[in-house]
Structure 1
């Protein structure tokens, strides 16, 4: 059957209809994409391809290059491709080829996709280049409290117990009334870590995320004697049972209480009690490196997943021209991609 490929806007009812048919994460929702427009300075859309029996769905952001050319990029997070559960491998490549042909017709030069470590674990495609970047960590929420505690490292257990004895509590802020305070804590944490500008989010991002996601965005705050000493946001995909780690901020005056550890512990307990399947913590710095951040997360669970990206040169002639005509930029896509955006 002939492949039909088209572009979906975030306002399209078909977007939600596709998600209803496919197991998806919160990062695939139109609300997440609309919020990402404020972070990545792009216009959200999705590619949808179907042969009548199977379907492919890829959410992306359109980013201008020079006023004429543009490229496509996954939003912040893990909004990898979705495909029908029973779709054969041959469909994936045929659908991806058709989708990239449509992008090329509309002036796209390249496409960069961040695969979802959970939903795209079995993803195989010969279109472009697939690269592995490291591991992410998740907690199996179907396990018991005793099993979770056993999988937690001694250091984490010790700090969680100390914080609990000191009177530190964690609560779910149902109304997001503490969100402004959390944002200040998060930005302060990024300042302390000397984080790249990409990890700072403007007010429009937070407002859009809170409005669009509703109860799919959850804010947990850690408190001692009525003082908020840390906070963490997560997103929830009810259909897939995925709790996805988002942002965390702590008050530097209370670092001795290790609020990040008791927050992780409390959210793990909340997800388990709610009957969710998985709490995905992400990877190390930049989402993939096996550094101190990765080891911190690994201290809660032995479950790891491969984080991969897919890089596709949609229009080789324009890509080469934007890269200054150097042929090697087309031969090896394993470095910074797209190469013409390297500063």
Structure 2
């Protein structure tokens, strides 16, 4: 029999489970507490066990109305983590038990972002699994020479040119440059015409540093003492994964290619420290067809499928929130949950739609 429970971020069981399961930074209680500011809800985890196998999924609980709420993974790849040798039968049994518990507590829907690396082999018949696009990673067990050969010739030329011009990269361990990074990130997202969900409450950044600073590295590119670009990486030391989290560049210095120089520096740094993978992520919104994905693809041939899992927890309430349209239950591949689409569309009206030239997206 599967036992299901909710865990608060302060729960000792959560911290103990992380010692037994492969995980990324998105699964850390402190990271989840910071994510309350980015995802607009309360951080929790749902936990299931049959006494042998274990499954934990971080969630952000977002209020829908006075009666109900929905669950979503934190921004990033906070998919399920589980004990070794966990069977697909247990996974489905555990998820069904979790869905039953969620329904009893007023949950309407559940949106899970599966981790492209840790959940690469994830299979489940609960809800629907949707392929969102591709992500790119760099195998850090390769040599410096192999990495350089795998780098697109245009990237190599731009990096060499920038370094000769005096561009340098350092790690800001004290996060002194955090305010500048926040400004550059927001400016970059506006140039890209990013959706509102990519713009964060400033408290999110400070909470990340306070709660998960040991798992963050802020790489800063400078020319003549001026910051021209910066990238915030997460580092999951035990899993051996360093990962792009957020990136910002100064438009005035696109000709210095700070994002490319930083990517090269991070690759060298991760390799020198024995990490296994530098996960660059995918394109804007998970797309594998835009120029941001193409930029990342210029550093490595290794790609992964980014998937999400969508579960309608309470079908009757879900349909009611969608104005009685029962067809939403048969097509979960579009915007999910469908009842939040109107809210997202209204927010999108206030965001620039023109995709300006960006150094981070240049070919």
- Report if TM-score (shorter chain) is over 0.5: yes
3-state SS in 1 of match to 2:232:
strand
Contact in 2 for aligned 1:283/1:290 (Cα 8 Å): no
Rounded to whole Å, the distance in 1 between the matches of 2:84 and 2:165 is 48
Give the corresponding residue for 2:241.
242
Whether the 8 Å contact between 1:130 and 1:308 is mirrored in structure 2 is yes
Deviations 1:8-43 (A, max 9, x none): 011111111111110001111112211111111111
- Correspondence for 2:231: 232
Unaligned runs of 5+ residues in structure 2 are 343-363
Work out whether residues 131 and 309 of structure 1, in 8 Å CA contact, stay in contact via their aligned partners in 2.
yes
Deviations 1:39-73 (A, max 9, x none): 11111100000011100100001111111111101
Q: Which runs of 5+ in 1 are unaligned?
A: none
Partner of 1:274: 273
Alpha-carbon distance, 1:200 to partner: 1.2
* C-alpha separation in 2, matches of 1:293 and 1:141: 21
CA contact (8 A) 2:194 2:284 kept: no
Cα contact 1:7–1:46 (8 A) shared by 2: yes
Give the TM-score normalised by structure 2: 0.93
Matched residue SS, 2:19: helix
Provide the C-alpha distance between the structure 2 equivalents of 1:36 and 1:214, rounded to a whole number of angstroms.
14
Aligned-residue offset at 1:185: 1.3
Report how far residue 197 of structure 1 moved: 1.8
Q: TM-score, normalised by structure 1?
A: 0.98
Deviation of the 1:258 alpha carbon: 0.7
- How far 1:201 moved relative to its partner? 1.5
Partner of 1:159: 158
Equivalences for residues 170-189 of structure 1 within 5 A: 170-189=169-188
Instruction: Look up the match of 1:206.
Output: 205
Matched, 1:111 2:96: no
Match of 2:313 in 1: 314
* Deviation at residue 329 of structure 1 after TM alignment: 0.9
Q: Which residue of 2 aligns with 1:329?
A: 328
Are the counterparts in 2 of residues 288 and 307 from structure 1 also a CA contact under 8 Å?
Answer: no
Query: What is the SS of the residue equivalent to 1:342?
Result: helix
Is structure 2 residue 303 aligned with structure 1 residue 304?
yes
Alignment correspondent of 2:345: none
State the SS of the aligned residue for 1:300: coil
- Please list, as runs of the form range in 1=range in 2, the aligned pairs for 1:209-224 lying within 5 A after superposition: 209-224=208-223
RMSD: 0.9
